[in-house]
Amino acid sequence: MSNDDHGNHDSHSANGTRRKLLKLAAGAATTAALRGATGLAGAAAMTLRSGAASAEDGKVLRIGFQKYGNFVVLKARRTLEKRLAPQGFTVQWLEFPGGPQLLEGLAAGAVDVGTVGETPPIFAQAGGVDFVYIASEPPAPQGEAIVVHQDSPIRTPADLRGKRVALNKGSNVHYLLVKALQKANLRYEDIQPVYLAPADARAAFTSGSVDAWVIWDPYLAAIERQANARSIANGENLVRNTQFYIANRSFANVHAPIVHAVVEEVSAVDGWARDNIPAVAAQLSPLVGLDASTLEVALKRTGYGVQPIDAATLAYQQQIADTFSDLKLIPKKLIVADARWQAT
């Protein structure tokens, strides 16, 4: 999904137009994400086109990942490539700045498997993106927070009334913000949301253009350590902050053994990472551009143990979907269970 406003459109015609616009926007966003990952616009465009063509032949697994997490470690270790090689598959890694942008890539047909937080799938399902949940990680509520400057007069979420709050629309922290406001007896309309991707949000925060920033790790750990930002609320007692592994439904149905292999390999990496946090931080540091000490802070707040999607997890996702539809931030009611993968 894009960061455009999500109105309450009920007509079939409007939904059809919205889907067409989504595909156009998703294509542009995916190309931009690829350009950012490679630094070479022409090479990125060629990668997108060749990746799509190869995927049609069933020979390329395209994995969307973010700047942090198990997929980054899996990419560096190359164990998935070795496992899939006998089956004739190669792996293409595509970096995105956040879950909403990654799901735009999936909607555009450029991503087969990816990892996102708990809220992006809700916005994507509402927009008609055809994906399935394939696995999840345990909750990590301390891995996201609302931060302000150290000298800010804002002490609690209740003080956000009328303030400019930066966040990546449709990301996991969007739900954190909603729940924090509700607990403080504030409506969403009582603040001024400023929808920005992490890099732009950090610039706005450090320049003082916004009063607060709702952000996840490792960006959270970085702004705390590098700019002495102060947290006024994290996910504790508010949200779970669950990380999900998702897949294009058609790809998952046609290539179930490949999807199972991805889940098994990422689970193995996750188990190793849990017991080797300093080593993981050292490995990630040059890949994500953050010092190892900062990454250790983030890694200690991560949930470990890749697990199948269960009924309780889907019920929690349904709560998120209902919350956003009630707020008219998504255009319709959802049945989250429709996106559960019937693994074979």
3-state secondary structure of 307: strand
The pLDDT of residue 184 is: 98
The CA angle 179-128-336, to the nearest 5 degrees, is: 50
27 DSSP 8-state letter: H
The CA angle 335-253-21, to the nearest 5 degrees, is: 60
Cα–Cα separations (whole angstroms), residue 91 to 262, 270, 298: 11, 19, 27
- Mean of the pLDDT values across residues 43-56? 41
Q: Is the dihedral of CA 25, 27, 28, 29 positive or negative?
A: positive
Q: Which residues of 291-302 are buried (b: 16+ CB within 10 A; e: fewer)?
A: ebebbbbbbebb
39 DSSP 8-state letter: S
Smallest Cα–Cα separation from 263: which of 7, 28, 74, 86? 74
pLDDT, tens only, 277-295: 999 999 999 988 999 999 9
- State yes or no: pLDDT of 94 exceeds 50: yes
The pLDDT of residue 287 is: 87
- Mean of the pLDDT values across residues 318-343? 95
Q: Which residues of 205-239 are buried (b: 16+ CB within 10 A; e: fewer)?
A: beeeebbbbbbbbbbbbbbbeeeebbebbbbeebb
- Mean of the pLDDT values across residues 43-52? 39
pTM to 2 decimal places: 0.81
Give the C-alpha separation, 250 to 256, whole Å: 10
Give the C-alpha separation, 286 to 2, whole Å: 30
**Tokens at residue 317, please?**
């996702």
Beta bridge partners of 132: 247
Rg (CA), the chain: 19
pLDDT, tens only, 131-179: 999 999 999 999 999 999 999 999 999 999 999 999 999 999 999 999 9
Burial class for 26, CB neighbours closer than 10 Å (0-12, 13-18, 19+): buried
Rounded to 10 deg, the angle between the 99-107 and 12-38 helix axes is 110
- State yes or no: pLDDT of 198 exceeds 50: yes
**Tokens at residue 301, please?**
């707040």
The CA angle 56-136-281, to the nearest 5 degrees, is: 95
Which range is least confidently modeled, 42-51, 126-135, 151-160? 42-51
**Tokens at residue 252, please?**
């998952």
Cα–Cα separations (whole angstroms), residue 166 to 73, 99, 129, 174: 29, 16, 25, 10
Question: How far is CA 170 from its chain centroid?
Answer: 9
- State yes or no: pLDDT of 315 exceeds 90: yes
Q: Which domains does the chain have, with CATH numbers?
A: 12-138+243-339 (3.40.190.10), 141-234 (3.40.190.10)
Which range is least confidently modeled, 36-50, 109-123, 165-179? 36-50
**Tokens at residue 24, please?**
């156009």
Residue 25's pLDDT band, with cuts at 50, 70 and 90, is very low
Continuous segment of H or E residues that includes residue 165:
strand 164-167
Residue 57's pLDDT band, with cuts at 50, 70 and 90, is low
For residue 328, give the amino acid letter: K
Continuous segment of H or E residues that includes residue 63:
strand 60-65
Cα–Cα separations (whole angstroms), residue 57 to 88, 111, 150, 232, 309: 11, 15, 54, 50, 29
Evaluate whether 296 touches 284 at the Cβ level (below 8 Å).
no
